[in-house]
Amino acid sequence: MSDFIAAQESKLGYRMVAPAFLVIGLLILYPIFFNVYLSFFDVQLNGEKSFVGAQNYSKLLSDSGFYDSLGTTLIYLTGTVIGTTVLGLAVALLLNEDFPFKNTVRAIVLLPYFAPVISVVFGWQFIFDPVNGVYNHMMVEVLGWSAERRNLIGEPDSAIWVVIIFDVWKHFPIAFLLILAKLQSIPRDQYEAAAIDGYGAWGRFVNVTLPECRFVIATVVLLRLIWNLNRFEDVYLLAPNVETLPIYIYYQAFTGVIDQGLAAAISVVQLLFLSGLIWLYVKKVLKW
Amino acid sequence: MSLKRTNFQRVFLLGAVLLVLMFSIFPFIQILSTSLKYQVDWGNPSLIPAQINLDAYKELLGISTEEIELPETIKIMLDSPAISEEQRAAIVKKFKSNANVFPFGRYMLNTFVIATLTALLSTAIATFAAYALSRLKFKGRSAFSNMVLFVYMVGGVLLMVPLYQMSVSVGLASSVTGTLISLLLIYLVQTLPVAIYMLGNYFRTIPFSLEEAAMIDGYSRTEAIFAIIIPLSRPMLLTVMIYCFVIAWNEYLFASVFLKQYHDFHTLPLALQTLFTSKNAIWDRIMAASMLTLLPVIIAFTVANRFISSGGTEGGVKE
């Protein structure tokens, strides 16, 4: 009887996951392998392909654009991960204190995170606009730090910093949210004990808060790395001249001299990095 | 946490809070402000418009009352007796409709339809999968749930080329309908993992004894799901739906790959980007369009707000 019930149960289980499995299998798992396959071909937009062996990969290794893009990605990841984590932690500590309208402030701080990228990038474009933007107004007319109005987003070298600040602005709320949840769970008496031991505010932060938050901070860092390695819209729409790996792939695949095989090869390389990070996340954070 | 604050500490704290608030909302205020300004006022750093200008909103929402002037040459052509009454009407109509260069309403409708379909389909499929993962024992269950987590973190850019090639090779990319189906399927699969993940976590918090009681009362397992789990999960189902809706509402990458040549079917992100790159000196319109794109999302999240902070953020939500 119980065998029968177990068999029934597993049958129902398969039936219920089948649609999701089919969709994910067909549109994510299969494409991942198909992508590896494509990376060994010269692929046209209309679907024609011819086998070229490892030529795409050798092209990649001798392509200076690819190395530039790796470098840009590295700067982008470092800047955004440090920025979001530090600001998220600072804001979480701050908004964990008592002050009027606390809940309203906490809700408003989340706004950048939930706003569609497309609805805020042009606002940021405007802030840094060389003619009308408030940034140039501050720098040139008010503070006098710069002699002339500059087009920060127009030049790739400075645009990457705008992109990083934009990303920190947009994503520190999620770091804030995760860290705040942890802060609220730290028992009060730990702080009292530390205070009795003679620690000041800084000492309590270093000896109580940081060790307690270590795990959640590591989680934030890993998740930021994973999501930002994937990130396309936020970078491309704000400053299309900042070529992180995803943007570089997009350009190879759909603009100018189209080379979808090369794009597939870069995707494979990026997937390897990504898989490493996901593995780390699963092992260290989820602890399977 | 500190028991007594000095006045200095109190002022410092409030100052810091204010600074964070400003940082968070300044860009939004900037967008709102510019959307309401006349062109002469754009370079003025003041956030309060010298004079309120609603033209951009009126134009985008199609409630502009301005008569469109026909060019002189067309007027002369229309006066010529060689043209029939019908031809004349057709020409006038063509010019009047062409004047509306940015059919914002149309783009909003496109985006709304595809985002709604995505949300409904994704939530429906995810409900069953999540239930099975959180309740039923079957071989391969943990493998499937690991897979969901993995694919959840694989970004769309990595699938862009193979998905495009697949859609070309099965012939979907060659027609409008096929393209729209491809896009809908892609949005479905982009939202499905996060929907399964959120719902699975939620279902685990519902005590199994409730279903057990229903089954003792003679309900079958499937009936128990509809009688117990779904009604109990209504708020979470709504939250997940909103989440999927917003992901689809925001999506740019695949829309740009698939819809580029089908202007009538552009979604908002694609349309706004095109508007931005095609013309200069229309900041007010771009900012007004930004505000109008933002609005539904803010409404959606105000509705879902209560549940977001509880269940949605664990493990980092799909972005």
Structural domains present in chain A? 1-38 (no CATH), 55-286 (1.10.3720.10)
The CATH number that applies at residue B207 is 1.10.3720.10
ipTM of the complex: 0.88
Pair B226, B199 in one domain: yes
Pairing of strands A41-43, A49-51: antiparallel
C-beta atoms of B25 and A14 within 8 A: no
Number of residues assigned to chain B = 319
Answer whether residue B2 is part of any domain: no
Answer whether residue B261 is part of any domain: yes
Structure token pair of residue B301: 């999240």
Task: Return the pLDDT at B1.
Answer: 46
pLDDT band at residue B94, thresholds of 50, 70 and 90? low
Distance CA B39, CA B50 (A): 11
Task: Return the pLDDT at A171.
Answer: 94
C-beta atoms of A118 and B272 within 8 A: yes
Contacts of A173 in chain B (CB under 8 A): 24
The number of domains in chain B is 3
Q: Burial of B100 by CB count in 10 Å (0-12 exposed, 13-18 middle, 19+ buried)?
A: middle
Torsion sign over Cα A155, A160, A165, A167: positive
Helix, strand, coil percentages for chain A (3-state, nearest 5): 75, 0, 20
Answer whether residue B58 is part of any domain: no
Could you say which of A17, A96, A178 has the minimum Cβ distance to residue B313? Answer: A178
Burial A156-176 (b: 16+ CB within 10 A, else e): eebbbbbbbebbbbbbbbbbb
Pair B268, B134 in one domain: yes
Could you say which of A19, A126, A286 has the minimum Cβ distance to residue B128? Answer: A19
Contacts of A231 in chain B (CB under 8 A): 155, 319
Pair B13, B155 in one domain: no
Tell me the per-residue pLDDT of B127-165, one tens digit each, with 9 for 90 and over. 999 999 998 989 999 899 889 988 988 988 999 999 999
What are the CA-CA distances from residue A5 to residues A2, A12, A190, B226, B228 (Å)? 5, 10, 50, 20, 20
Q: By the 8 A CB rule, do B117 and B184 touch? A: yes
Pair B38, B170 in one domain: no
Task: Return the pLDDT at A79.
Answer: 96
Task: Return the pLDDT at B317.
Answer: 43
- Residue to substitute from A118, A174, A250, interface B, most B β-carbons within 10 A: A118
Q: Is the pLDDT of residue B214 over 60?
A: yes
Q: Burial of B247 by CB count in 10 Å (0-12 exposed, 13-18 middle, 19+ buried)?
A: buried
E strand map for chain A: 41-43, 49-51
In this prediction, what percent of chain A has a pLDDT beyond 90?
51
- Residue to substitute from B28, B158, B164, B168, interface A, most A β-carbons within 10 A: B158
Task: Return the pLDDT at B64.
Answer: 60
In angstroms, the separation between the Cα of residue A158 and the nearest Cα of chain B is: 19
Q: Give CA A48 to chain center in angstroms.
A: 34
- Residue to substitute from B157, B189, B216, interface A, most A β-carbons within 10 A: B157
C-beta atoms of B136 and A13 within 8 A: yes
Q: Which residues of chain A have pLDDT under 50?
A: none
Tell me the per-residue pLDDT of A202-256, one tens digit each, with 9 for 90 and over. 888 888 888 888 889 999 999 999 999 999 999 999 999 999 999 999 999 988 8
Structural domain for B16, as ranges: 7-53
Pair B137, B213 in one domain: yes
Contacts of B309 in chain A (CB under 8 A): 177
